[in-house]
Amino acid sequence: MNPRKSDGGHDPIAVEGGTETRVSRRSFLGYVGAGAAAATVGSGLIGCGGTIHAEEPLSEAETRRRAARQVRDDAAQLAYDRPMPVIADNGEEHDYPYVANFCKGLPHNALGEVEPAAYQALLKALETHAPADFETIPLAGTRKLVNPQGGIAFDLEGPDCHHLAIRPAPRIDGPENASEAAELYWMALVRDVNFTDYDTDGDVAAAAAELSHFSDFRGPKEDGAVTPGTLFRGSTPGDLVGPVVSQFMLKDVPYITFTISQQQKTYMPDVNYMTDYAGWFSSQQGAPPSTAPAYDTTPRYIRNGRDLAAFVHNDVLYEQYLNAFLILTKMGAAVGPGNPYLHSMTQAGFGTFGPPHVFTLIGEVSLRAIKAVWAQKWVVHRRNRPEEFGGRVHNHLTGAASYAMINHEILSSQAVTEIFSRYGTYLLPQAYPEGCPLHPSYGAGHATVAGACTTILKAWFNEDFVIPNPVVPNADGTALVPYAGADAGAMTLGGELNKLAANVSNARNFAGIHWRTDYSESIKLGEAVAMGILEEQRATYNESASFTFTKFDGTKVTI
């Protein structure tokens, strides 16, 4: 039998007398000390470093060294033993070459279709992994591709980024993609409508009605229909409870000896970008934006889709979850039931199961989440960005090109017609002057980090803790007022963290740079990263502890 094979219990394994015996890490350390003479040559007792000889009793330092190696070996074996997922793209790259995949920044023809030789150079580099090949990828402008080698890197903790998968992205010829595109066009149309006005706004009502009639729209619904109350919301437990915006994006953040207001520098209303073909084409060629964002001079709390888009434009991806941790600490939120210090009479957590532990974990999982999603983006899916798809829709509907593969539901939609009536093109209006970044759409970096970090927070705290004194912005976003909805008492820590993940993810959709499935699949990818790290770290603790939380699919797990 393999003395290093893990069964998921994470305890080191010793082999005694030819029989596999599982011992705790504490017991492993106890092989040496007062009972060191019990370890003899004849017993065949094996630690990580080999046979222990009675005439050479191990020092405490050597014992610790061998135990540390055993913990590392067991974690590696645990990672190795995880089932390999099926990793597959959606076949578009083969079926519709140079039309349906991400190619921004590479040379294009006049229709915004990538030059085949340039795309093949990208594919070659992704296949060979040779750093020199990445340097030969042709660029049309000055903007550079964002880290295509990031998804090739290995990691030493948690699942390897190639040991994870998300489902194939919706195809350009399918009704799910068409419905997601319609949702994005409607998001652009109602960017400046306050969430508190959704029940009375005519465009919001039209968006809900049209999305209800798409044959494969998978956003949240009530009684089988999209409503103003479900429109543009997330699809996890708690997303439909309370205001649209999570309390963790509104409440003040306690920081060291001062307090940070979450009033932010947002954009001016009714200013959108890439609604003209020349500007759109220049962006596809990798040109820098010709203008800076038009900022509002008044700081405001998040009221609408444009404010959400501003929030996620220049952030470091895990900042929102550090804020959430600080807010929860100020609230006095209870830790989860598996925290070993919850009922201790003599001890409090610090480096383990205390504030520095969780604070560091949030940053730790975020980098690993980025590597995991970068592998999906560049190595597997290479899904086009919504702005690229908008160019295909525009050229098809104006007769400049024929893309018969585009699903008819989006081509005949009210959303696309309304965009044309306002802007004179069928392009998807962007909230940022530069449009999307230069990496593929699926999955989403913000969403994967959101999934990983909120999983850590849900695992750490008691999910059932009810958020006290919920708030919502006033009409102009200059102040917070009490939220008086009938469901205020049902706004739990777990639900508001799920909502935070959805807000951050869908904020990128409001900007016009990501799709709904970029959110819905990527948060689950981040969740898998966080769960893997929690599993592997469990063996490093001296305490007897566990983490219990609800996954994004509604199932409860304990690690």
Report yes or no on 338 lying in a domain. yes
Q: Residue 257: what pLDDT?
A: 95
Q: Are strands 548-550 and 556-558 parallel, antiparallel or unpaired?
A: antiparallel
Cβ pair 514, 508 in contact under 8 A? yes
Give the chain's count of helices (H) and strands (E).
17, 10
Same domain, 351 and 488: yes
Query: What's the CATH code of the domain at 490?
Result: 1.10.606.10
Same domain, 532 and 394: yes
Cβ pair 1, 14 in contact under 8 A? no
Report yes or no on 120 lying in a domain. no
Same domain, 77 and 205: no
pTM score: 0.91
Cβ pair 409, 178 in contact under 8 A? yes
Q: Residue 55: what pLDDT?
A: 59
CB-side neighbour CA atoms (13 Å) of 324: 31
Q: Residue 56: what pLDDT?
A: 75
Q: Is 129 a catalytic residue?
A: no
Query: Alpha-carbon distance 293 to 310, whole Å?
Result: 10
Residues of 51-89 as b/e, b for ≥16 C-beta within 10 angstroms?
A: ebeeeeebeeeebeebbeebbbbbbebbbeeeeeeebeb
- Among residues 81, 103, 125, the one where a domain terminates is 81
Instruction: Report mean pLDDT in 10-residue bins for the chain, 559 residues.
Output: 34 34 40 37 38 68 94 92 94 96 98 98 98 98 97 93 96 98 98 98 98 98 98 97 98 96 97 98 97 96 98 93 97 96 96 95 96 98 98 98 98 98 98 98 98 98 97 98 96 98 98 98 98 94 96 97
Residue among 155, 154, 135, 153 nearest 145 (CA): 135
Helix, coil or strand: residue 208: helix
φ, ψ at 354 (rounded to 5°):
-125, 180
Query: Alpha-carbon distance 283 to 261, whole Å?
Result: 35
Report yes or no on 460 lying in a domain. yes
Q: What would the two tokens of residue 401 be? A: 């090109």
Q: Tokens 């990445």 appear where?
A: 134
Report yes or no on 105 lying in a domain. no
Domain count, the chain: 2
Q: Are strands 13-16 and 556-558 parallel, antiparallel or unpaired?
A: unpaired
Q: Residue 540: what pLDDT?
A: 94
Q: How far is CA 422 from CA 294, 400, 428, in A?
A: 20, 20, 12
Same domain, 473 and 331: yes
Query: Alpha-carbon distance 448 to 204, whole Å?
Result: 28
DSSP state of 253: E
* Cis amide bond preceding 443, omega within 30: yes
Report yes or no on 541 lying in a domain. yes
Query: Alpha-carbon distance 127 to 104, whole Å?
Result: 19
Q: Which of 162, 163, 439, 514 is catalytic?
A: 439
φ, ψ at 95 (rounded to 5°):
-75, -35
Query: Alpha-carbon distance 105 to 99, whole Å?
Result: 14
Report yes or no on 391 lying in a domain. yes
Q: Which of 162, 394, 396, 446 is catalytic?
A: 446
In the chain, what's the furthest Cα-to-Cα distance? 89
Report yes or no on 54 lying in a domain. yes
Q: Which domain holds residue 73?
A: 13-81
Report yes or no on 152 lying in a domain. no
Query: Alpha-carbon distance 35 to 38, whole Å?
Result: 6
- Among residues 53, 81, 109, the one where a domain terminates is 81
Q: Residue 57: what pLDDT?
A: 86
- Among residues 81, 105, 130, the one where a domain terminates is 81
Residue among 248, 166, 187 nearest 447 (CA): 166
Q: Is 446 a catalytic residue?
A: yes
Cβ pair 182, 409 in contact under 8 A? yes
